[in-house]
Amino acid sequence: MASSNAATHSHAHDHAHAHDDHHAPTGFWTNYIFSTDHKVVGIQYGVTALFFMLFGFGLMMMMRWQIAHPGEALPVLGPLLEKLLGSNMAGKGIISPDLYNSFGAMHGTIMVFLAIVPLATGAFGNYLVPIQIGAIDMAFPKLNMASFQLYFWGGVVMFTSFFVPGGAAQAGWTSYPPLANAIPTDGQTYWLIGMVFLISSSLLGSANIIATIIQLRAPGMTWMRMPFFVWSQFVAAFLLLLAFPPLEAAGVMQLMDKVFGTSFFLPTGLAVGGDLANISGGGSPLLWQHLFWFLAHPEVYVLILPALGIISEIIACNTRKPLWGYKTLVYSALMLGFISFIVWAHHMYMTGMSTKIATFFQTTTMIISIPSVIILTCLLLSLWGGSIRFNTPMLFATAFLPMFAIGGLTGLPLGFNYSDIHLHDTYYVIGHFHYVVAPGTIFALFAGIYFWFPKVTGRHMNEFWGKVHFWGSLVFMNVIFMPMFSQGMGGMLRRMSDGGINYLLRPELLYMNKVILYGAIGLALAQIPFIINFFQSISGGKKVTSDNPWEATTLDWQTPTPPGHGNFDRPMEVFRGPYEYSVPGHQTDFTPQNEKPKA
């Protein structure tokens, strides 16, 4: 429907009403489960991803408790785990090393592939890209539905794997062979199958976003008039489209190693346990690492670009002035996208890398830090000269900037291989990427939820509880992640099921595990107001008084609230750039993109 209308876009809107009455789904199944409407798919993605984020957070809470109290039974949940997963996994309510490794592997997998990326691209991308460019739906609505269904079933496979004999995957979210092959659990196989579902889902979603942005822009919506959020989705979709297929192939190869006895990633002469492994041999464990990180590094930019997009929209709107250096932002995002494909092996400096290869990868890594610094600088300079409204979305958006800065800067000593000798695989790495993703991307996603909630539901979320949520999250995120830099500097390693008590480490480093646990409990408590606020505001929040409650300029605020099937009730035509706030001589301090210029 949408694609056939693309050519006669404005024409389609003339008939929008009659047209929609004809096509709008009516039944429960077509309306809520197998919907092809981009907004419903976006909400499906959003709700599912938020659920998985809470679940992944829960896994982390149990892990943090266990490593702060090694060898002690987990209160309340311990006996429950023992009942659910058996006494060899959680005997006497203590999380066994195998279960800890399961939780670790699944925390990473769930947070990256089932929570944050689906929320950033599946939910925000699906819901906002069409209405920001003035389209009535995505280019391929049915692909969009298929994308969500694949994602959902991929999630079900991952979740089920906790209950198969041997438990869920235990070889880290990176699933390095030969460990992934040596672990005697079917969970590892489930992980691979789940990944194939999730990757296929991402491919359909990203192809759709690219086609939509290229084909379905409203008249006048030239490339340089697109909101930066749309640009960020565009680049992120290209990264997913080009970087995921190698991992899908690698995943199928590892599946064959696991199930059919091939040896793509297994060398000759492996002796796991007492005996020589019964494999054909001749493969290379490093091949998997290359294929994995060829996806997983661009994936980092898939995590961060949509977040930067969301932040840009919110900062422009709440400073009431244009973004500083819009074009620079766009070019930097494109540059990030390109370079992110040639930095992957900086995750592998300790695999015996020669000077030539190491020099290439650390040079590209330093080069990619330049557009990152430029983007951050543009956003910081955008604040200058504004008239800043500190509502909840803006609080999250401003806090994002220093938090993301910490995350980005601490990447430098890891990007140079000489300092990586000391910091590789320590808690410094954990602190680094969690600053990027947790108080970074997740703050951006929270900001986006508070910002677009009135458009999606027609009601505001409560400001007071929003601020409680913000301050609680900001303080406790730092209590959790800041000590990790000290732990890492002191030489404490990640992925230790007992927190590292067996190794010779300074006691204060181990004590920090307790501090981090208290931070994690605080962070959990700080999410309660958000969860209640979110659900309560759907039906009980303050109603919006106009379709454009934040007085924003982009097309998403020109739709009815909430947008109906077909999105717009009048044809959209674009006359100007996305952030025309406080234009001198204009009567209001915002000029919507579709406002006709005075002749």
Where does 399-468 show beta strands of DSSP type E?
none
Q: How far is the CB of 583 from other proteins (least distance, A)?
A: 6
Query: If binding means CB under 8 A, how many residues of this protein chain bind other proteins?
Result: 97
Binding letters toward other proteins, positions 99-138, x by CB under 8 A: --x-------------------------------------
Nearer Cβ to other proteins (182/475): 182
Closer residue to other proteins, CB minimum distance, 209 or 279:
279
Positive or negative, the CA dihedral 528, 530, 533, 536 is negative
Spatial separation of the C-alpha atoms in residues 571 and 544, rounded to whole Å: 23
Closest CA to 254 of 156, 178, 200: 178
Cβ–Cβ under 8 Å, residues 360 and 296: no
Nearest approach, Cβ of 409 to other proteins (angstroms)?
4
Provide, rounded to whole angstroms, the least separation between the CB of residue 25 and other proteins: 43
* Nearer CB in complex with other proteins: 189/419: 419
CB-based contacts of 448, cutoff 8 Å, min separation 6:
124, 310, 314, 393
Of 532, 545, 527, which Cα lies nearest the Cα of 454? 545
Is the Cβ of residue 372 or residue 554 nearer to other proteins in the bound state?
372
* Binding to other proteins in span 564-593, by CB under 8 A: 581-584, 589
* Between 15 and 495, CB nearer to other proteins: 495
Rounded-to-integer distance, Cα 246 and Cα 234, Å: 20
Of residues 428, 547, 421, the one with CA closest to residue 483: 428
The distance of closest approach from Cβ of residue 431 to other proteins in the complex, given in angstroms and rounded to an integer, is 13
597 is a contact residue toward other proteins (CB under 8 A): no
Q: How far apart are CA 150 and CA 311, in angstroms?
A: 29
Residues between 456 and 475 that touch other proteins (CB under 8 A)? none
Query: CB of residue 39 vs other proteins: minimum separation in angstroms?
Result: 31
CB 490 within 8 A of CB 427: no
Could you say whether residue 421 binds other proteins (CB under 8 A)?
yes
CB atoms within 10 A of CB 598: 5
Q: What is the closest distance, in whole angstroms, from the C-beta atom of residue 337 to other proteins in the complex?
A: 19
Q: Facing residues of 271 across strands?
A: 276
Asked if residue 382 binds other proteins (CB under 8 A), the reply is yes
Nearest to other proteins of 171, 526 (CB atom): 171
Closest approach, Cβ 401 to other proteins, in A, equals: 7
522 binds other proteins (CB under 8 A): no
* Piece of the chain touching other proteins by CB under 8 A; list 130-138, 193-201, 421-429, 519-527: 421-429
Interaction between residue 8 and other proteins (CB under 8 A) = no
Residues 70-99 that bind other proteins (CB under 8 A): 96-98
Whether the Cβ atoms of residue 359 and residue 409 lie closer than 8 Å to each other: no
Measured CA to CA, the distance from residue 52 to residue 214 in angstroms comes to 31
Instruction: Return the amino acid letter for 471.
Output: W
* Contact map string, positions 157 to 196, toward other proteins, x by CB under 8 A: -------------xxx---x-xx--xx-------------
Binding other proteins by CB under 8 A: which of 497, 554, 561, 567?
A: 497
What residues have CB less than 8 Å from 19, skipping those under 6 apart? 12, 566
Task: Please tell me the distance from the alpha carbon of residue 587 to that of residue 272, in angstroms, as a whole number.
Answer: 75
Q: Which residue lies nearer to other proteins by CB, 274 or 597?
A: 274
Scanning 150-158, 384-392, 469-477, 539-547 for contacts with other proteins by CB under 8 A, the matching segment is 384-392
Cβ proximity of 484 and 427 under 8 Å: yes
For position 482 contacting other proteins by CB under 8 A, the verdict is: no
Residue 187's identity, in one-letter code, is G
Distance CA 99, CA 106 (A): 10
Helix axis angle for 427-436 and 285-319, nearest 10°, is 40
Identify the residue among 33, 272, 515, 524 touching other proteins (CB under 8 A). Answer: 272
- Binds other proteins by CB under 8 A, chosen from 165, 269, 507, 597: 269
Alpha-carbon distance of 164 to 132, in angstroms, equals: 44
By the rule CB under 8 A, 34 interacts with other proteins: no
Report, in Å, the least distance between residue 29 CB and other proteins.
43
Q: Does residue 351 belong to the site contacting other proteins (CB under 8 A)? A: yes
Q: How far apart are CA 103 and CA 105, in angstroms?
A: 6
